[in-house]
Amino acid sequence: MRLSLHDMIYLALLVTFVACDAPPVPLDDIVVEKTFVPEKCERAVKTGDFVRYHYNGMFPDGKKFDSSYDRGSTYNVYVGKKQLIAGMDKALVGMCVNQRSLVKIPPALAYGKNGYGDSIPADAILHFDVLLLDIWNPEDKVQSQTYYKPEKCSRTVQVSDFIRYHYNGTLLDGTLFDSSHNRMRTYDTYVGIGWLIAGMDQGLLGMCVGEKRIITLPPSLGYGENGDGSDIPGQASLVFDVVLLDLHNPKDSISVEDQVVPEACTRKSQEGDFMRYHYNGSLLDGTFFDSSACLSGTKIPGSAVLVFDVHVIDFHNPSDAVQITLSYKPENCSLLSKKGDFVKCHYNATLLDGTPIGSTHSFDRTYDVVLGAGQMVPGMEDGLKDMCVGEKRVLVIPAPPGLRRERSGRRGTRQRRVGL
Ligand SMILES: *[C@@H]1O[C@H](CO)[C@@H](O)[C@H](O)[C@H]1NC(C)=O
Ligand SMILES: *[C@@H]1O[C@H](CO)[C@@H](O)[C@H](O)[C@H]1NC(C)=O
Ligand SMILES: *[C@@H]1O[C@H](CO)[C@@H](O)[C@H](O)[C@H]1NC(C)=O
Ligand SMILES: *[C@@H]1O[C@H](CO)[C@@H](O)[C@H](O)[C@H]1NC(C)=O
């Protein structure tokens, strides 16, 4: 086939056209090249959202004309409200936090024929390397998402409770701005009465001790337009990963929960009684701090609710006399024991909780004493008086003063005055 002259000119034109630099973008629309897409994208930009992003603005030849990095702060703006050049309004929609895209914008969707000041000439194609850092919407409320809830939860956080918790605070892109762990102590505060930023005052309500939550709040419920002046930038959404460790209300009194009450309970402890008990002391989240078995426990943090698991072994009142209960009296009872008598008896001795501590039967001989000769503790002297031969009694003898030992419960009763 022979080419006509016309065809040849056409071919030449075509070749010329191809040899020139092809325009980097079609002349009528933006081109978006995603350079990084995060694995997790919980939320993509919609029209009407507010975003914070970093960008480098370049001409197609790579020459930079503007950069948010150079200004040291993100660009903060509403999307789809004509606050941006049309190409950017369009390019930002659908982006996720931490996504990075190279956006190529034709002049018609940028500064067109007029350009912009000295920096952007007429009909310039613009390239923006965009990194999205934050999205929120004026309609947003506090979002809280529980990712661990303990099985037992008898009480949840209410307005005006005092709580202790650990948290990690991050921006939406994951940048850590604060953590209670770095200070090695819990954050201790009232909830719901303005001690906290509004979002936390709301987001912590309803939590159980031991529960773990992610609380996400828009800047209006956090540090607002100006940020906190240091690590939290203006207009930033905040994400708090929280674990609640302790909860009480200053109006709370001590609360007592009986776990075991023995069937035979002839006497209840009263003020002034001397008591022996075992206990395990823990914080509300279960952290052990000490016990009667091990007094060298860990430090008790300030404002902590203390839980004592108590097992009462013994109590009496120092003013108690020996308590005598007759269990058998022979019919023929004329001669009663008295001071100066020599008596022989059998006994089984136990502690008040039933623990055996000795028996004449195990030695296979009787206990032989003279009454009133100071051979026994005073309670025993009293208990053996006025008995007749064959009589059986149960004696409850209060510990004589010399035998009292103030060992158990020292920490529970003295160092910390629970409920006072
Ligand atoms: C916070 O970060 C620390 C250290 O990375 C981690 O041990 C802890 O589980 C995180 N979450 C909370 C709620 O403290
Ligand atoms: C304290 O804890 C120990 C070990 O777990 C347990 O054997 C004991 O019964 C507990 N004592 C009380 C009073 O709860
Ligand atoms: C009861 O006592 C009387 C006099 O005190 C005595 O004579 C008698 O043998 C006694 N009876 C018994 C069963 O011990
Ligand atoms: C003590 O225990 C033994 C053996 O269990 C019993 O035979 C006796 O009656 C009990 N009482 C006295 C006072 O010895």
- Three-state helix/strand/coil letters over 175-226: CEEEEHHHHCCCEEEECCCCCCCHHHHHHCCCCECCCEEEEEECHHHCCHHH
Q: Which two tokens stand for residue 97?
A: 């936090």
Asked if 160 and 207 touch (Cβ cutoff 8 Å), the reply is: no
Which of 203-217 are b and which e, b meaning 16 or more Cβ less than 10 Å from the residue's Cβ?
bbbebbbbbbbbbbb
∠ CA 259-262-264, rounded to 5°? 155
Query: How far is ligand 4, taken at its centre, from the CA of residue 391, in Å?
Result: 13
pLDDT digits (tens, 9 = 90+) for 59-87: 999 999 999 999 999 999 999 999 999 99
* CA 55 vs CA 50, 90, 128, 224, 314: distances in Å: 16, 15, 6, 22, 75
Asked if 52 and 76 touch (Cβ cutoff 8 Å), the reply is: yes
Q: Is 115 exposed, middle or buried (0-12, 13-18, 19+ CB in 10 A)?
A: middle
Q: Tokens 């020996």 correspond to what residue?
A: 322
Residue ID of nearest Cα to ligand 1 atom 2 = 168
Cβ of 273 below 6 Å from ligand 1 = no
Cβ neighbours of residue 187 closer than 8 Å, sequence gap 6 or more:
164, 165, 166, 167, 180
pLDDT attached to residue 296:
66
Closest to 77 in 3D by CA, of 47, 121, 119: 47
Closest to 46 in 3D by CA, of 101, 100, 93: 93
**Ligand 1 atom nearest to 242, measured from its CA:** 13
Pocket of ligand 4 (CB under 6 A): 346-348, 359, 361, 392
pLDDT attached to residue 316:
84
Q: Which two tokens stand for residue 31?
A: 């081109």
Q: Tokens 């032989």 correspond to what residue?
A: 368
pLDDT attached to residue 108:
95
pLDDT attached to residue 409:
40
**335 three-class SS:** coil
* CA 187 vs CA 129, 285, 310: distances in Å: 40, 15, 29
Residue among 49, 50, 85, 163 flagged as catalytic: 85
The set of long-range contacts for 352-359, using a CB threshold of 8 Å and a minimum separation of 24, is 352/313, 352/314, 352/315, 352/316, 352/396, 353/312, 353/313, 353/314
The conformation of residue 127, written as its DSSP 8-state character, comes to E
pLDDT attached to residue 416:
36
pLDDT attached to residue 12:
47
Residue among 50, 55, 167, 240 flagged as catalytic: 55
Report residues of the chain scoring pLDDT below 50.
1, 3, 9, 11-20, 404-420
Q: Would you say the C-alpha torsion 194, 199, 205, 211 has a positive or negative sign?
A: negative
Cβ neighbours of residue 73 closer than 8 Å, sequence gap 6 or more:
233
Residue ID of nearest Cα to ligand 3 atom 14 = 332
Rounded-to-integer distance, Cα 75 and Cα 88, Å: 12
Cβ neighbours of residue 200 closer than 8 Å, sequence gap 6 or more:
191, 215, 217, 240
Which ligand lies nearest the alpha carbon of 409?
2
85 is catalytic: yes
Which of 6-20 are b and which e, b meaning 16 or more Cβ less than 10 Å from the residue's Cβ?
eeeeeeeeeeeeeee
**416 three-class SS:** coil
Instruction: For the chain, list the domains and their CATH numbers.
Output: 24-136 (3.10.50.40), 143-248 (3.10.50.40), 256-317 (no CATH), 323-400 (3.10.50.40)
Cβ neighbours of residue 135 closer than 8 Å, sequence gap 6 or more:
43, 44, 45, 49, 50, 51, 97, 172, 237
pLDDT attached to residue 92:
98
Q: Tokens 């034109």 correspond to what residue?
A: 13
E strands of 249-285, at which residues? 274-283
Asked if 29 and 109 touch (Cβ cutoff 8 Å), the reply is: yes
Query: How far is ligand 2, taken at its centre, from the CA of residue 310, in Å?
Result: 9
